[in-house]
Amino acid sequence: MRVMVTYASRHGSTAKMAERIAADLTAALVRMLCVRP
The pLDDT confidence band at residue 27, using thresholds 50, 70 and 90, is very high
Q: How many domains does the chain have?
A: 1
Q: Which residues contact 18 (CB under 8 A, 6 or more apart)?
A: 5, 8
Rounded to a whole number of angstroms, the CA Rg of the chain reads 13
Q: Which domain holds residue 18?
A: 12-36
- Whether residue 27 is contained in a domain is answered as yes
Q: pLDDT exceeding 90 applies to what percent of the chain?
A: 16
The helices-and-strands tally (H runs, E runs) of the chain is 2, 0
This prediction's pTM: 0.51
Q: What's the rounded Cα separation, in Å, for the pair 27 and 35? A: 12
- Whether residue 26 is contained in a domain is answered as yes
